[in-house]
Amino acid sequence: MSIRKDFIERTLEQFVEALTRLIKARREHRFSDSLKAIRETSLSTLGMEYSTLLMADAESTSRLLGTPTRVKMLAMLVREDGELMKAQGDPLTADSRFLLSLELYLEAMTLGLNPDTADATAIAELRVIVDTASLSERHQRMLVLA
C-alpha cells in the first residue's frame, strides 16, 4: 500500500472518529466541547483554522482545500456546526451554516466527488432545510444538476 493511500485512510479514520465525538458531545449538550472538536478537527484533518475556512465563499474555499474529499469533510463539519447553533438557540447562524454546507457539497461535486448514499442523504436533507432561493445563481444551477 502506498504511503499516500495510508495517509488518506488514516486522515479519514481520524475525521470519522472526531465527527462521532462531536456529535455525541452536541447530543449531550456539551456545546463547548462540540465547538472545540469542530475547531480541532478542522485543524488536524484540513490543516486550517475553522474560522478561517468560514471567511470566504464556498467556491473560494473549495479551491483552497483543493480536493473533493477535503471539501466534503468541511461540508460535514459546517453542517454539524449548524446543528450545534440550532441546538443552542441561534437559528440565524444555523441557517447560514446549513446554506454553506450545501454549497460546499455542491463544490465538492464540481471537483469530482461522486456522492455516496450518506452524501446524497445529507444533500437531500440540506435541500429541505435551506432556502434554496438564498443560493447564488451558480449554486442554484448546480443544485438542479445534483
Q: What is the pLDDT of residue 7?
A: 63
Q: What is the pLDDT of residue 8?
A: 65
Task: Assess contact for 18 and 44: CB atoms under 8 A.
Answer: yes
| % of the chain exceeding 70 in pLDDT | 96
- How far apart are the C-alpha atoms of 39 and 55, rounded to whole Å? 14
> Does the pTM of the predicted model rise above 0.75?
yes
1: pLDDT strictly greater than 60: no
Task: Assess contact for 15 and 42: CB atoms under 8 A.
Answer: no
pLDDT tens-place string over residues 83-125: 999 999 999 999 999 999 999 999 999 999 999 999 999 999 9
- How far apart are the C-alpha atoms of 54 and 127, rounded to whole Å? 20
